[in-house]
């Protein structure tokens, strides 16, 4: 899928303009200060980027996954932390529209599409990461309420979200005992227990949430009781397109910085780009960038067409994240000693790239998904 529609091109152009005007000048400071730019998301909304996966009926643009991927890539070129916040927000929007009841859609989607509210995600626990079906946080039905207890680790946008999609155990062991809830983290019994210090993506918010006898109504249940694991996996499948696009954006930034530096930096009487040791790195970087884009757009176009895309999303995330991490290291190498300083942005790209191989399913999990799609379960 290489041809983009006029509407998709317009989304990409708007995202690029906002990224260069409102994000790029501040990205280094946000990274240094670990600042979450809450005010930025109003500007992203003005460009129509907060509701790309929300239908027009609920105040979004319904632009679809290809447009979403294009926007995330452009935002990530400027700042990967902002890109993942937008990616997670959009992932939750899509989950609510696909699985929510009409009242839930009317309550949340117009606010989320307008950036009046930002959405977050809470799945991981201290002993339930890749093995998400083993989570222990519980939701016990008592009359007309659910009582929540437990702790969630590494919650995306947990301190700033108006609604968090969170998974709790409502039944027995295993995946069938898990349910999904839409929770306001400002509710009584919910508190931020710890803010996560991270290697990179410092402009995104990550925290641990503690639930201590938090009481929520049954209207917070997303979908049916016991279907939460499927909800989480479905949301992550779509979210992997966003992370693949984020990794692609980091890679694009690495290439741009490397080409500029290799053209301007002289050694032994000529630009360092004249030496094969540098130019071949850039050639491979550019080739992998195009491959990452095409894989990501293929998965996105399948999602837009309503066709199965789980394997393709995993392939895109696996390839793009590996390429981003590999070539971010090469970008630092091309910059030499300068690349190891904060004077140039490639050290930030290097730190930001690694997480794309971990969250929303590690590279090992992506390989498992791809292999099972081809081979089935052979145990």
User: HSE (CB half, 13 Å, CA atoms) of 137?
Assistant: 31
180 has which bridge partners?
167, 222
Total Cβ atoms within 10 A of residue 156? 29
Q: What CA–CA distance (Å, rounded) separates 258 from 301?
A: 30
Question: Encoding tokens for residue 103?
Answer: 């009242």
Burial level of 38, CB count in 10 A (0-12/13-18/19+)?
middle
156 has which bridge partners?
121, 206
> Is 112:119 a contact under the CB 8 Å cutoff?
yes
> Is 274:346 a contact under the CB 8 Å cutoff?
no
**CA–centroid distance for 120 within its chain:** 11
Q: What CA–CA distance (Å, rounded) separates 3 from 97?
A: 27
Which of 74, 125, 357, 360 is the catalytic position? 360
Radius of gyration of the chain (CA): 21
**Phi, psi for 101 (deg, rounded to 5):** -75, 165
DSSP symbol at 129: S
Tell me if residue 360 is catalytic. Answer: yes
N residues, the chain: 379
Q: Hey, is 171 helix, strand or coil?
A: coil
Catalytic residue positions, numbered: 360
């Amino acid at each position: 899928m290489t041809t983009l529609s006029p509407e998709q091109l317009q989304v990409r152009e708007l995202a690029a303009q906002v990224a260069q005007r409102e994000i790029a000048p501040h990205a280094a400071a946000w990274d240094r200060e670990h600042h979450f730019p809450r005010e930025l998301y109003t500007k992203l909304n003005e460009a129509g980027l907060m509701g790309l996966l929300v239908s027009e009926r609920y105040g979004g643009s319904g632009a679809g996954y290809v447009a979403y991927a294009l926007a995330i890539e452009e935002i990530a070129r400027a700042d990967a932390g902002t890109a993942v916040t937008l990616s997670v927000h959009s992932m939750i929007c899509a989950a609510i529209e696909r699985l929510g009841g009409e009242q839930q859609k009317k309550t949340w989607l117009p606010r989320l599409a307008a950036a009046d509210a930002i959405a977050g995600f809470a799945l991981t626990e201290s002993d339930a990461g890749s093995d998400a079906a083993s989570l222990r946080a519980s939701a016990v039905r008592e009359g007309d309420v659910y009582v929540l207890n437990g702790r969630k680790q590494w919650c995306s946008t947990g301190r700033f979200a108006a609604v968090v999609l969170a998974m709790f155990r409502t039944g027995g062991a295993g995946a069938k005992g898990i349910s999904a809830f839409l929770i306001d983290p400002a509710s009584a019994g919910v508190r931020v227990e710890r803010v996560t210090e991270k290697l990179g993506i410092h402009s995104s918010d990550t925290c641990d949430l503690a639930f201590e006898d938090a009481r929520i109504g049954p209207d917070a249940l997303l979908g049916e009781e016991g279907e939460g694991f499927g909800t989480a996996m479905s949301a992550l499948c779509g979210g992997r397109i966003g992370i693949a696009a984020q990794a692609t954006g980091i890679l694009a930034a690495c290439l741009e910085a490397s080409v500029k530096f290799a053209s301007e930096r002289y050694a032994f009487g000529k630009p360092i780009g004249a030496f094969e040791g540098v130019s071949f790195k850039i050639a491979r970087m550019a080739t992998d960038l195009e491959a990452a884009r095409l894989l990501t757009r293929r998965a996105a176009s399948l999602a837009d067409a309503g066709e199965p895309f789980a394997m393709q999303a995993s392939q895109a995330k696996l390839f793009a994240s590996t390429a981003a991490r590999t070539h971010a290291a090469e970008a630092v190498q091309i910059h030499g000693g300068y690349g190891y300083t904060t004077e140039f942005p490639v050290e930030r790209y290097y730190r930001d790239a690694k997480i794309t191989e971990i969250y929303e399913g590690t590279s090992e999990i992506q390989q498992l998904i791809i292999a099972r799609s081809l081979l089935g379960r052979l145990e």
